[in-house]
Structure 1
Amino acid sequence: MDPDKLAYGNYSKAFITDVPADLNAPEALHFKNTIRRFPEEAIYIYSFKENKMLYADGWEPLLGYRDDEISMLTIVNITAPEYAPFSNELNDKALMFLHSKVIEEEHQYSFTIELKKLHKNGAPVPLIWKVGVFATEGGKVTCIIGHSQRNESIKFGSVMRYAAYGPEKSEFEEELNKQLFRHYAISEKEKDALALVAEGYSFKEIAARFSVSQSAIEKRILPMYKRFGVKSLTHLISFAFANHILP
């Protein structure tokens, strides 16, 4: 694949290569014996220190690529076109955040996203994609682990759905929200608050449930008016149901 076609953010582009894993390397054999893979799931481990895949498992049944040919560049470039701009920018901004932090423990931070990737035969595959910190050195991220699982029950609308996890979840998710505001997207925290609004709870009641201030809830809900082009709370709720944000 041509790196010039990489629709990735400028920050992440420096770290992404087309080098697949050597599955006969001792490290890869160790991962094969220690990392559990679930049905209809594929896994990768990518090293920022070495700028290559260290391990891959389950990619041929999921997306048609052999485990010894799948690379990070391939994974980026096979995102379905309608999801690529947001997915790539989310990865970019999340990586910027992680590289800015001193991470005391592995697996502290992760994020998930619902999207479609293109199978090697061109068919779209609905996936839940989770990326997390796998290894650190001196508090800095050296490896990430990705889990990609087929989920045919996902109902896709025009709005991308994602979530961030970690000891500073609010900071992580709020930083992503701020950076990704121009996209049609909603975070898990925003969706949770909106679901309670749809059930008839007031901002004050929702704030009490989440043990935050009422203004914090307003900051989750009100910016969605502009983001999604709605004029009222009723319109926002209707939009959420129409776009499968809410069940």
Structure 2
Amino acid sequence: MHEEDESQCPILLAMTTQTVYRSKTEVFRRKDGVPVPVSLNAAPLSDDAGAEGVVISFQDFSEIKNYQDEIQRLAYQDTLTGLPNRRVLDERLALALGMSDRHDRCLALMFLDLDHFKAVNDTYGHDAGDQLLKEIARRISTCVRKTDTVVRMGGDEFIILLQEVAGPESAERVAAKILEVVAEPVVLTEGKARVGVSIGIAIAEGQTVTPEQLMEQADSAMYEAKRAGKNQYYVWG
């Protein structure tokens, strides 16, 4: 180790400055190269003559780190489908609206509510309903770009944020594709099931609009699609 590197070593600084160094972000590596997160303490060791060295203690932090990572993951993920949750949507929608307003670009927010989902639960049970929701979530995700966000709001409701679209027609094409893939039968353990989806679409075109207002527009548009006969999309405004 070069002298300049030694001067920056926090463990050596613990001895020279006579202060305790504590860290929970250190990483050791096993012989096979696997990283191991550790918590580390370095305390100066001295006698009447002055500094003599450093006492170092460390503890495998893997279990705690894994637990913390899992808590962080659950805070942003729907536990049933693995999709992002409402918290992720709120953050990304606020950012996307700011970009839309500054650069005069369109974005679309789509509110999806499954049609006849209750019949699946009533016929096959809630486990089958959960199985169907996971499959529908997978199908919806195949209809959008990697830059878009598909969120499960809870129950049989989903929201899609299309961060940049050419106009309403682009969102309508996505909606039409979703209608097609959702309509395909879902093979469940208990049998086959079919559901539809009503989709409400709200467009922001660079104007000042709040996330709450856009959500309300998409939600209202979805109910218009329901009233018009279900299994279709409706564009707000």
More strand per residue: 1 or 2?
2
**Fold equivalence (TM over 0.5):** no
In the superposition, the TM-score normalised over structure 2's length comes to 0.26
Larger Rg: 2
Q: Give the TM-score, by structure 1 length.
A: 0.26
